[in-house]
Amino acid sequence: MQNEEKRKFFRRAVLAGAFAAAGVVLSVVSIPVGPTKCFPFQHTINVLAGAILGPWWAVGAAFTTSVVRNMMGTGSLFAFPGSMFGALFVGLAARALPEKYKFCAACAEPAGTGIVGAWVAAKILGPAIGKSVGFLFFSGSFLMSCVPGALIGAVLLCCLQKRMALTKTFGALI
User: Structural domains in the chain?
Assistant: 39-167 (1.10.1760)
Summary mean pLDDT of the chain: 87
What pLDDT shows up at residue 171?
A: 54
What pLDDT shows up at residue 56?
A: 96
What are the residue ranges in the chain where pLDDT is below 50?
none
What pLDDT shows up at residue 60?
A: 96
CA 66 to chain centre: 10
Between CA 112 and CA 52 the distance in angstroms is: 17
Between CA 142 and CA 160 the distance in angstroms is: 26
What pLDDT shows up at residue 12?
A: 94
Q: Among residues 7, 139, 131, which one has the least CA distance to residue 81?
A: 139
In the three-class reduction of DSSP (H, G, I as helix; E, B as strand; rest coil), residue 37 is classed as strand
For residue range 69-120, list pLDDT tens digits in order: 989 988 778 889 889 999 999 999 999 998 888 889 999 999 999 999 999 9
CA 125 to chain centre: 19
What pLDDT shows up at residue 169?
A: 54
